[in-house]
Amino acid sequence: MSNTTYSILKFRNVDELRKIIDYAIKDGKDFDFNSIEPIPDALKVEHIPYQDAAIGSYYNTLDREEQASLIENLKDKHYTNVEEIIEQAAAQEKEQILVAEERIDLGQKYYENIMEYGYPDFFEWANDHWNTKGNAIDTVVDEENLEISFSTSSSAVENLMKNLYEKTEVPFIYQYTNDTFTVYGEMCCDEEGIRNSQIDEKSVKEIFAERNAG
């Protein structure tokens, strides 16, 4: 199963490339998707695989009326399971598990974020808004070849790149492939509009050969 997608932005001249560097690459680090569509600050909390258990820990600190309200509020929400919350809370209470205050606070934060934003943390938000599990990594700026390349977890970020062009009006070609060369594409963003163009597997392997080898 593919876990990585490689992306390249190609520019017409160095001035246009540098405009994107100034816009999206801060302090010479990785390409930052927050420059295009920022994560709400409240969602920048720790992502853990046992979110329902953390909410269950918070649930146990509430009175009966507040507990009923929490369950009612969450019963139709995504990214959480009210039955699991109740089971986890009951198990913690039965075993008299001493729960750290930090975990209770985290459970409360997950609950509040779900109610306000529809997501417990940045991970789920990024999946929906960026189409990837997190920010860009392994960014390489190649001014000689007028390129910026980066990697992402799972999928390509076509919609983000469309938004980048619409916000900056800097023309570029966006090319991408997964690490098995089974999903790939090319998108042109310029004065003529945003459109997909044809690219074949052989060309993709040539374009990303060095990237994949690294």
For residue 1, pLDDT beyond 70: no
CB 185 within 8 A of CB 8: no
Residue in 121, 134, 125, 128 with CA at minimum distance from that of residue 5: 134
pLDDT per residue over 70-108, tens digit each?
999 999 999 999 999 999 999 988 766 656 788 999 999
For residue 212, pLDDT beyond 60: no
Residue 66 is predicted with a pLDDT of 97
For residue 210, pLDDT beyond 80: no
Last residue of a domain, one of 127, 155, 180: 127
Alpha-carbon distance of 132 to 21, in angstroms, equals 21
For residue 177, pLDDT beyond 70: yes
Query: Both 172 and 205 in a single domain?
Result: yes
Query: Both 75 and 145 in a single domain?
Result: no
Domain span holding position 29? 4-37+130-213
Query: Both 32 and 46 in a single domain?
Result: no
For residue 214, pLDDT beyond 50: no
**Which CATH number does the domain housing residue 182 bear?**
3.30.70
Query: Both 81 and 155 in a single domain?
Result: no
Choose between 1 and 47: higher pLDDT.
Answer: 47
- Split into its structural domains, the chain has a count of 2
For residue 22, pLDDT beyond 60: yes
Answer whether 0.95 is exceeded by the pTM. Answer: no
Alpha-carbon distance of 180 to 148, in angstroms, equals 21
Of 26-30, 105-109, 209-213, the range with the highest mean pLDDT is: 105-109
Residue 154 is predicted with a pLDDT of 79
Query: Both 117 and 137 in a single domain?
Result: no
In 10 A of CB 203, how many CB atoms?
A: 13
Query: Both 71 and 17 in a single domain?
Result: no
Alpha-carbon distance of 68 to 126, in angstroms, equals 30
Query: Both 144 and 114 in a single domain?
Result: no
Query: Both 85 and 62 in a single domain?
Result: yes
Last residue of a domain, one of 110, 127, 144: 127
Residue 23 is predicted with a pLDDT of 96
Query: Both 134 and 123 in a single domain?
Result: no
CB 72 within 8 A of CB 85: no
- Predicted confidence band of residue 38 (pLDDT cuts 50, 70, 90): very high
Query: Both 70 and 32 in a single domain?
Result: no
Query: Both 118 and 49 in a single domain?
Result: yes
Residue 184 is predicted with a pLDDT of 94
Last residue of a domain, one of 127, 144, 162: 127
Query: Both 46 and 123 in a single domain?
Result: yes
